[in-house]
């Protein structure tokens, strides 16, 4: 199943130059001796109704980016413009805490680990109904009705609502997490590795459920994953992150057909390929992922890049739109021909 490429339409979320640095403290006086550059100048947008996937190795800043967007963390710099239901534009990064509550209805999160994100002492009714209560639904009958509707929507039986999370399988728990995230009719759903803890067959069920719900409810997804093969069938566009930065963003098919950044090519070489003509040797990257507390000069990828030249050590590449909607941060993006994994 391939998804149609989205035409540029109305932007729901516009993130510009987002940075989040965590101080590193040492000694009895807890003096700040440096910073972890967890998110380091990230720029992207998500159109209404589309899925943008954010992909990269562990520690590259995916969760920190997601948490800054939802203001679970205060960004160090940058803007996070969100187009609200009321037709206004708000910078989530700068909004006073008191004004965040109404906005939270419109932006919700699904977590990786359905175990730890659900309170074991609460019934499904309490878990899924809690956001309704927090946002002012005092009528318990109405809450129960809405919870029943939500459970049905995610493929669970409403009769289960008096049970506790331990009575359910991991896949069912992820369905509960999705029901809770949808309780308030959000417009943007940030899903942080929602299927990474699941078996492959259950992964497919949850991904299909997410696609169905997107179509039915007109949801917009920011989908976080460390694995390109997971995002291939569900994303309209994919953004690839490396050490706090987005190195490449493109419509899914284009990224898989013709990656333009050497790091994307390396990630791509690990994706299983059904077509034998497209099978190539897996690119094993030399060295370790750079330390975000002490990143290399110039292009952060240069110590591991097979195509690096002198300029790569000296100058930080800027993000350029190489073809429509295909953004790359690499000095050599226009001249390199890199290997993808699908035919056009």
Ligand X SMILES: Nc1ncnc2c1ncn2[C@@H]1O[C@H](COP(=O)(O)OP(=O)(O)OP(=O)(O)O)[C@@H](O)[C@H]1O
- Could you say whether residue 63 binds Mg ion (CB under 5 A)? yes
CB of residue 188 to ligand X, shortest distance in Å: 18
The footprint of ligand X on residues 253-292 (CB under 6 A) is: 292
Site size for ligand SF4, by CB under 6 A?
A: 13
Residue closer to ligand SF4, measured from CB, 180 or 302: 302
CB of residue 22 to ligand X, shortest distance in Å: 3
CB of residue 79 to Mg ion, shortest distance in Å: 23
Residue closer to ligand X, measured from CB, 62 or 173: 62
Site for ligand X (CB under 6 A): which residue of 7, 58, 88, 286? Answer: 58
Considering only the stretches 97-105, 160-168, 185-193, 306-314, report the one whose residues sit in contact with ligand SF4 under the rule CB under 6 A: 306-314
Site for ligand SF4 (CB under 6 A): which residue of 38, 228, 240, 312? Answer: 312
Residue closer to ligand SF4, measured from CB, 175 or 302: 302
CB of residue 20 to ligand X, shortest distance in Å: 8
Distance CA 242, CA 197 (A): 22
The footprint of ligand SF4 on residues 189-228 (CB under 6 A) is: none
- Could you say whether residue 245 binds ligand X (CB under 6 A)? no
Residue closer to ligand SF4, measured from CB, 127 or 328: 328
Residue closer to ligand X, measured from CB, 60 or 110: 60
The footprint of ligand X on residues 214-233 (CB under 6 A) is: 226
- Per CB under 6 A, residues contacting ligand X are 22, 36, 38, 56, 58-64, 226, 292
């Amino acid at each position: 199943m391939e998804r149609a490429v989205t035409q540029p339409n109305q932007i729901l979320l516009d993130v510009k130059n987002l940075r989040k640095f965590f101080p590193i403290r040492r000694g009895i006086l807890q003096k700040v001796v440096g910073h972890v550059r967890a998110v380091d100048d990230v720029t992207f947008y998500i159109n209404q109704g589309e899925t943008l996937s954010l992909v990269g190795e562990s520690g590259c800043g995916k969760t920190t980016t997601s948490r800054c967007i939802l203001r679970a963390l205060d960004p160090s710099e940058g803007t996070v413009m969100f187009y609200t239901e009321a037709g206004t534009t708000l910078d989530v990064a700068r909004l006073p805490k008191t004004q965040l509550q109404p906005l939270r209805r419109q932006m919700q999160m699904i977590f990786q680990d359905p175990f730890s994100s659900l309170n074991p002492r609460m019934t499904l009714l309490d878990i899924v109904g809690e956001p309704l209560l927090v946002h002012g639904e005092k009528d318990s009958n109405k809450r129960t009705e809405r919870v029943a509707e939500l459970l049905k929507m995610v493929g669970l039986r409403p009769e289960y609502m008096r049970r506790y999370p331990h009575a359910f399988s991991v896949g069912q728990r992820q369905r509960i997490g999705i029901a809770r995230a949808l309780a308030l009719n959000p417009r943007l759903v940030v899903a942080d590795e929602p299927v990474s803890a699941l078996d492959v067959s259950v992964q497919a069920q949850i991904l299909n459920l997410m696609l169905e719900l997107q179509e039915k409810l007109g949801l917009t997804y920011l989908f976080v994953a460390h694995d390109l093969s997971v995002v291939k069938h569900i994303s309209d566009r994919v953004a690839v992150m490396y050490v706090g930065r987005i190195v490449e963003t493109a419509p899914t098919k284009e990224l898989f057909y013709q990656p333009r950044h050497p790091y994307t090519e390396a990630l791509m070489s690990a994706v299983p390929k059904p077509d034998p003509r497209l099978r190539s040797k897996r690119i094993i990257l030399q060295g370790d992922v750079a330390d975000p507390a002490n990143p290399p000069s110039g292009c952060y990828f240069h110590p591991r890049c097979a195509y690096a030249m002198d300029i790569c050590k000296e100058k930080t590449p800027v993000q350029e739109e190489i073809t429509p909607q295909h953004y790359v941060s690499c000095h050599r993006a226009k001249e390199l021909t890199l290997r993808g994994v699908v035919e056009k």
